[in-house]
Amino acid sequence: MPRYALKIEYHGAPFAGWQRQSQGLASVQGAVEAALARLEPGPHTIAAAGRTDAGVHATAQVATLDLARDWQPFRLMEALNHHLRPAPVAILAAARVADDFHARFSALERRYLFRLIQRRAPLTHDAQLAWRVQHPLDLEAMRVGAAHLLGLQDFTTFRSTLCQAKSPVKTLDEITITEQPYPGGREIHFALRARSFLHNQVRSIVGTLERVGAGSWAPQDVKAALDAKDRAACGPVCPPDGLYLTGVGYPVDPFS
C-alpha cells in the first residue's frame, strides 16, 4: 500500500487533542481520518509526530498513513482539505514516502513555540491563540533561568504525573526567549527544540519561567526545582492556548 506523509496545520481550541478519543470527543486525528474515509473506505489510522494536548495548536504537524489507491500528492491534499471543512484543520502538503518512513519514529527533533502576550487589555484577535499575563516580565531573568534546563537532564519535575514515557531523562537542545511589539503591550516567544518531549514538559517549563520573569522565583530556583526531581517543585503549568508544534525534523525532509 502506498505510504504518504501529511503536513498539517490546526487550531487546537475545538479539539480534545490530536489523539482520537474513545469518549467520542472531537480530535484532530478523528477529523483527518473521517476525511480520509470520504476518499477511500475505512477504517483509517494515521500516526503523528507528536500527540498534542487539548487546546494546543500546530503549524507543521506531520502524520503518516497508508492508502490503497496511488494518489497524486497534490490531489490528495486538495481532496482532504475539501472534506475537512469547516473544521479548523488544513493539509499544507502531502508527499509519497518510503514504506519505512514513520512520522513519529523517523523524527530527529520536534520544535515548539509558546506565545505569551503581556498587556493589561484582554485579547481579542489572539484569544485562544496566546497566553495573556498583565504584569511586567524580566526577559533576562527568564533567560538565565532557562539556561539551567539545557542539555541532558532528568525532567521529572517538569512532566505530568500522567506521562507515559519510560524515562524522564531528555535532552533539551534549545530554548530561546525573544520579544516583539504587540498592540498595547509586547509578545514574548519561547522556542524549544529537542528530539522528543515529555507530557506537559513545555507548558511546565514556560509556566515556571513566567514565575521567574514576574520576580516570584529567582533564576537559580529553576535549577533547584530541576534537581528536586519532584513534580511538586514545578511552577504552575501554563494554559495550552499559546503552545504550537511548529516543526518536525527528519534525516531528509519528506516535503522538500
Q: How many other C-beta atoms lie within 10 A of the C-beta of residue 49?
A: 28
Of the residues 53, 66, 70, 230, only one is catalytic, namely: 53
Beta bridge partners of 182: 185
Nearest-angstrom CA–CA distance, 18 and 56: 9
How much is the pLDDT for 43?
85
Nearest-angstrom CA–CA distance, 129 and 131: 7
Name residues whose C-beta falls within 8 Å of residue 1's C-beta, 6 or more positions apart in sequence.
66, 67, 68
Nearest-angstrom CA–CA distance, 106 and 112: 18
Q: What is the pLDDT of residues 7-54, one digit of tens each?
A: 999 999 999 999 988 788 999 999 999 999 999 987 888 999 999 999
Name residues whose C-beta falls within 8 Å of residue 74's C-beta, 6 or more positions apart in sequence.
94
How much is the pLDDT for 9?
98
Stretches where the chain sits below pLDDT 50 are: none
Name residues whose C-beta falls within 8 Å of residue 172's C-beta, 6 or more positions apart in sequence.
149, 150, 151, 153, 155, 192, 193, 194
How much is the pLDDT for 124?
97
In the predicted model, what is the mean pLDDT of the chain? 96
How much is the pLDDT for 24?
80
Nearest-angstrom CA–CA distance, 213 and 140: 8
Q: 118 and 136 in contact (C-beta within 8 Å)?
A: yes
| Whether residue 154 lies in the annotated active site | no
Distances (CA, A) of 144 to 101, 177, 213, 217: 39, 10, 10, 12
Please give the domain boundaries of the chain with CATH numbers for all domains.
3-106 (3.30.70.580), 109-247 (3.30.70.660)
How much is the pLDDT for 1?
85
DSSP structure class, residue 103: T
Say what the pTM is.
Answer: 0.96
